[in-house]
Amino acid sequence: MLKLSLKKLDELFAAMAQSQALYIPADNGGQAQYLRWAPGMKMTAALNTVRSAKDFFFPQTEGLVNFKMTGKTIEVIDPRTEAEDFVVFGVRACDARSFSILDKVFLVDPVDTYYQNRREHGTIVTMACRQPEETCFCTSFGIDPTHPEGDAVCWMTDDALYFEAVTPKGEALKEKIASLFEESDDAAVKAQQAETKAVLDRLPLHTFTAEPLGGDVLMKVFDSPSWKSLSEACLGCGTCTFVCPTCQCYDVRDFDTGNGIQRFRCWDSCMYSDFTLMAHGNSRNSQVERFRQRFMHKLVYFPANNDGEYGCVGCGRCLAKCPISMNIVKVAKCLEGELK
């Protein structure tokens, strides 16, 4: 394990940023978000960013293809350029797991090459959690926030940063920065992990589990009478969807630049009224059905298609951000109550 004094954190960032772009969670107008590092930029004190780290691989908007129209003819232009190498530093365990969930969508046949391209060029350096919030429930999905997944993992104590490379990408990064570090044992990390685990046991949601919904309960849950009351106050906004690290539904739209057509994709939300709207009707006509779709997708449909893995990582963003405080925990608890 490598150790670095926190006083040298800026040097570490400078070293990482030397040969590739570096993004760190920093404060912007009082909100934590990933920003491209520049000398002087400090890490946020917030536990996590408002927007998840999915943007790095699945940005909110992204050009797919351009068209040039002349008379009756169309020219198809691939707008992509080579993606640059980048490092995302300070990703939490929940977001790190979300990448493997997104992979199960975008990297299965037919592979989404836009996503794949970014994925291949990105190195993920994760950061173990020390002070989880009451909204955290990643442990419910088998995630260990004291030892996140990632190409490399970091632990931050009061005075030092500990670094461990995990994958070949992580090793490659390690080589570039190793000279800043000194070798160290893992005693401080072990101590911190034990301390954090004690906090995890005291989290209000530490006993929460989505397990009852992972079985063969699709139709039973779908037909639950509770969807109506659960969705009653839903505003039909896209906050939950857009702050969610695993929500990946998208829309494809055309934009007339005046000089050709840009076809782009952008995040979409199943909570929106036009998500399933067709010229002759809508298969999810009211907010009850749209609301149900979001939670069925994460808790029932996704596990059914992916060996029981849930489409949720327990990051707690929707718990914190929903304008009416309705969220996946409340929904799951209510439905599980009915299954008993």
Phi-psi map region of 281: left, alpha, beta (phi>0 left; psi -120 to 50 alpha):
left
- Contact between residue 312 and residue 210 where contact means Cβ atoms under 8 Å apart: yes
Comparison of 152 and 205: residue with beta carbon closer to another protein: 205
295 binds another protein, rule: CB under 8 A = no
Q: According to the binding rule CB under 8 A, does residue 209 interact with another protein?
A: no
Residue 103 CB partners (closer than 8 Å, separation 6+): 119
- Which residues, numbered 4-23, are part of the site for another protein (CB under 8 A)? none
Among 165, 205, 210, 217, binds another protein (CB under 8 A): 205
- 267 contacts another protein (rule: CB under 8 A): yes
Asked if residue 29 binds another protein (CB under 8 A), the reply is: yes
> What residues have CB less than 8 Å from 118, skipping those under 6 apart?
56, 57, 83
CB of 163 to another protein, least distance (A): 25
Q: What residue type is 113 in one-letter code?
A: T
Output the smallest distance, CB 301 to another protein, in A. 4
* Residue 194 sits in the site that holds another protein (CB under 8 A): no
Asked if residue 243 binds another protein (CB under 8 A), the reply is yes
Kindly report whether the peptide bond that precedes residue 110 is cis, defined as omega within 30 degrees of 0.
yes
| 251 binds another protein per the rule CB under 8 A | yes
47: contact with another protein by CB under 8 A:
yes
The answer to the question of residue 207 lying near another protein (CB under 8 A) is no
CB of 170 to another protein, least distance (A): 27
Asked if residue 145 binds another protein (CB under 8 A), the reply is no
Q: Which of 14, 43, 83, 237 binds another protein (CB under 8 A)?
A: 237
Instruction: Using the structure block, give the residue that is written with the tokens 């002070």.
Output: 131
Nearest to 327 by CA among 251, 224, 233, 204: 233
Residue from 296, 275, 273, 277 nearest 286 by CA: 273
Q: How many CB atoms lie within 10 A of CB 53?
A: 26
Shortest Cβ 47–another protein spacing (Å): 7
Q: In the β-sheet with 261-267, what is the strand arrangement from edge to edge?
A: 73-77, 61-70, 261-267, 250-256
Q: Residue 113 interacts with another protein (CB under 8 A)? A: yes
By CB under 8 A, the count of residues binding another protein is 102
Between the alpha carbon of residue 87 and those of residues 23, 46, 102, the distances in Å are 6, 20, 18
Site for another protein in 150-169 (CB under 8 A): none
Among the residue ranges 84-92, 118-126, 138-146, 279-287, the one whose residues contact another protein (CB under 8 A): 279-287
Count CB atoms within 10 A of the CB of residue 160.
20
Residues 110, 183, 225, 340: which binds another protein (CB under 8 A)?
110
**Is the CB of residue 94 less than 8 Å from the CB of residue 127?**
no
Residue selected from 235, 337, 338, 339 as contacting another protein according to rule CB under 8 A? 235
